[in-house]
A and B are shown apart, each in its own frame.
Chain A
Amino acid sequence: MSHKWAASPYLVWMALFIVVPIILVGYWSLTVKTDAGTQFTTENFRQFFNPVHLKVLFRSLELALIATAVCFVLGYPLAYILARNNLRHKNTLIMLLVVPMWMNFLLRTYAWLTILEKNGVLNTILRWLSLPEINILYTKTAVVLGMVYNFLPFMVLPIYSVLSKIDPSIVEAAEDLGADWVTVFRKIIFPLSLPGVFSGIAMVFMPSVTTFVISKLLGGGHYSLIGNLIEDQFRLVDDWGFGSAISLVMMALILVSMALMSKFAGEDRGLGLW
């Protein structure tokens, strides 16, 4: 390839901002600063298996799994409807899905605070309609809501892109052979859309399990997630070794789950967008 040199800025970028930081994280996770200088240790990893920290890990997994499941249940039908060719205003609908993502993530999450507050937008409307109030701010529900709201497009778009590429003649053939729509969906469309589903799951689960902003803002500091634990080690506690160790454990967990999923999805299909 004669244009190989064109990739070199990116290689420099990768080395500086991906490889070097990962090496540093690895180094910190295995060392501890003592009066006698820096020493190698596995203490940082052992500390992670303290019940308090495991509790945080399981809470993160729990909330991220719920958020991913909700995103799937909401996102699949939406992607299916969008992918149907006879839909009018299709591009407008896709725009509506994507436009909120143009706004800053933090601002959108702050906006939910105003909506969900005791005297917020939602309760003001409910009160006006003489309906019972909803107080979910600073609960797990609010955290899951924040995850679903922020990451739903990441579920819809990959599924949509796979569904819209399915050859309609395959569906027609099935129908000609007498399959009703349930069978068509179950035997043809859904299996063919699986790569999109897996990539959607990965793209929702990963940011959900590592978020610290959503849990902090919408959880009111009640629900420490693994991201909050990492943030605190770097920002408040000044224990970069432990913070790095948790980060590495998280990376390993994510890599393993990705590997399992790509195996599950079948080697030839890979992971859609990934």
Chain B
Amino acid sequence: MFAIAVLVVLAVIFIIMRGEKKPALYVYNWGDYIDESVLDQFEEKYSVRVVYDMFSTNEDMYVKVTSGGSRYDVLFPSDYMIKRMIDEDLLHKINLENVPNEKYIDPMFKGLDHDPDNEYSVPYMWGTLGILYNRKMVADPVDSWDILWNEKYRKQILMIDSQRDAVGIALQKLGYSLNSTNLDELEAAKQELIKQKGLVLAYVIDEAKDKMVAEEAALAVVWSGDAVYAIRDNPDLAYAVPKDGSNLWFDGMVIPKTAQNKELAEAFINFMNEPEIALANTEHTGYSTPHLEARARLSPEQANDPAAYPDPEDIANAEVFVHIGEMLKEYDRIWTEVKAH
């Protein structure tokens, strides 16, 4: 009896306290992927509360969102994950009438394969996967994934701890597509990754850029924006997209079906596309913006930085991830076996 009374009192207090709070918008984004001050601006402008959480891989985000219990209003997945979530009926269509600032998005980034009719996502950032290296420590030319298997850099390599990216690198090194669903090719990729393990200093994601700035390693696999960010802090660093292939990716903002406040979510997406806000985000994170107005206002150094805005011919061999459906299990298995080895 007593216990029930206590629980009821606690529940009532909880409900009253919640009732007093402003409406909340739940945002789930990648780590280091926003200028966090824009969240304060949004809170002030709309007189709401933003609950902001971070993930480090698409897979991470997917499991959290689909396992129930979460109530995110806005997510920032990548192309193939957007496609997967559309296929699995996890996303709301976005009412673009509530997102007038979508007009600033470069048409080049609209109608991509993962969302051909621009119904479910509004582009946020784009970029490549490549190698961030320290020019003082690496004498060889960095133009191929092969350098990540070079004995000379034993224990000086930071590999990316993200299954599709890591397996994709091994596949491209072997001359296959990073969307391969051929079991022999995947097995070969697994062997390459196991072979590489002895040379790798650590498997990391967000920590890579700080470690490279601190010169803890010579080479690191990073996404382009992290490279821009790191080079800003340590001019000895440089970024290269392998000529034999890389991953070209597009992250978008989407509204999952778990959203409880779709209009506020659309207001948020619109707000993120205000030219000043889009500019603040791209300046802060170093990632490449698909926002025409923000790009036009960027400082010439960042706007002309080949790491952020590469020449089309340099990324001619880059592939976009596609959702591979059931074959994903094989990728899971390979990555588990590599990590367990």
Contacts and interface: CB of A to CB of B under 8 A. Distances in A.
Nearest to B1: A5
Interface centre among B7, B201, B339 (most CB of A within 10 A): B339
A34 B214 CA distance: 48
A220 B203 contact: yes
B340 A236 contact: no
B202 interface: yes
Interface footprint category on A: 20 to 34
B204 interface: yes
B321 to A, nearest CB: 16
A56 interface: yes
Given A117-B214, A221-B202, A224-B339, A8 B2 contact: yes
Interface string A5-25: 110110110000000000000
Contacts of B6: 9
A224 B214 CA distance: 26
Contacts of A240: 67
Nearest to A6: B2
Interface centre among A11, A56, A220 (most CB of B within 10 A): A220
A21 to B, nearest CB: 14
B132 interface: no
Contacts of A221: 161, 202-204, 339
A238 B340 contact: no
Contacts of A238: 59, 62-63, 66-67
Contact of B332 (A12, A53, A228, A237): A237
B216 interface: yes
B322 to A, nearest CB: 19
Contact of B203 (A6, A8, A222, A237): A222
B332 to A, nearest CB: 5
A11 B161 CA distance: 42
Given A12-B3, A55-B340, A222-B197, A236 B332 contact: yes
Interface footprint category on B: 20 to 34
Contacts of A220: 200-204
A229 interface: yes
B340 A52 contact: yes
Interface residues of A, dominant DSSP? helix
Contact of A52 (B67, B200, B336): B336
Interface string B1-24: 111001100000000000000000
Contact of A236 (B57, B197, B341): B57
A43 B216 CA distance: 43
A119 interface: yes
Interface string B141-162: 0000000000000010000010
B276 interface: no
Contacts of B341: 52, 55
Contacts of A5: 1-2
A239 B332 CA distance: 10
Interface in A44-65: 52-53, 55-56
A6 B6 CA distance: 12
A118 B211 CA distance: 10
B340 A229 contact: yes
A55 B194 CA distance: 15
A117 B145 CA distance: 26
Contacts of B59: 236-238
Nearest to A238: B63
A154 interface: no
A236 B340 CA distance: 15
Contact of A117 (B197, B216, B337): B216
Interface centre among B7, B60, B155, B336 (most CB of A within 10 A): B336
A55 B338 CA distance: 12
Contacts of A239: 332
A149 interface: no
B163 interface: yes
Contacts of A9: 2-3, 6
A135 B201 CA distance: 11
Contacts of A229: 336, 340
A239 to B, nearest CB: 8
Interface string A124-168: 000000000001001000000000000000000000000000000
A234 interface: yes
A9 B59 CA distance: 38
B215 interface: yes
Given A8-B3, A221-B202, A52 B332 contact: no
Contacts of B216: 117-119
A14 to B, nearest CB: 12
A222 B200 CA distance: 8
B215 A119 contact: yes
7 contacts: A5-B2, A52-B336, A221-B161, A221-B339, A222-B203, A237-B336, A239-B332
Shortest beta-carbon contacts, A-B, top 9: A220-B202, A221-B203, A8-B3, A224-B340, A9-B3, A237-B332, A224-B339, A236-B59, A238-B63
Given A118-B215, A135-B155, A138-B155, 9 more contacts: A55-B341, A117-B216, A118-B216, A138-B201, A220-B203, A221-B202, A236-B57, A236-B163, A240-B67
Interface of B: 1-3, 6-7, 57, 59-60, 62-64, 66-67, 155, 161, 163, 197, 200-204, 214-216, 332, 336-337, 339-341
